[in-house]
Amino acid sequence: MRHVAIIALFCGLISEASADAISDCTKGSPEEIINGCSILLKKNRYRDKHNLSIIHNNRGSAYGITGEREKAIDELDEAIRLNPKYLTAYRNRALNLAALGRFEEAIEDASTLIELEPHSAENYVFRAGMRERNNELEDALNDFNAAIQRQKSVANYYFERANVLSQLSQHEGALADFTRAIELNSRNPSYYFARGLSWTNAAKCDQAIPDYTRPCRQLSQKSTQTRATAARKVLASLS
Q: What is the rounded CA–CA span in Å between residue 91 and residue 98?
A: 11
Q: What is the pLDDT of residues 175-232, one digit of tens each?
A: 999 999 999 999 999 999 999 999 888 888 888 888 877 766 655 554 555 666 666 6
3-state secondary structure at position 219: coil
pTM of this structure: 0.82
C-alpha span between 47 and 75 (Å, rounded): 17
Listed in sequence order, the residues at least 6 apart from 137 whose beta carbon sits closer than 8 Å to its beta carbon are 131, 164, 167, 168
Superfamily for the 1-100 domain: Tetratricopeptide repeat domain (1.25.40.10)
- pLDDT of 6-39, one tens digit each? 444 444 444 555 678 888 898 889 999 999 999 9
Q: Above pLDDT 70, what percent of the chain?
A: 82
Spatial separation of the C-alpha atoms in residues 127 and 48, rounded to whole Å: 31
Nearest to 171 by CA among 203, 208, 193, 214: 203
Query: What is the chain's alpha carbon radius of gyration, rounded to the nearest angstrom?
Result: 22
Could you count the other beta carbons within 10 Å of the beta carbon of residue 228? 19
99 or 4, greater pLDDT: 99
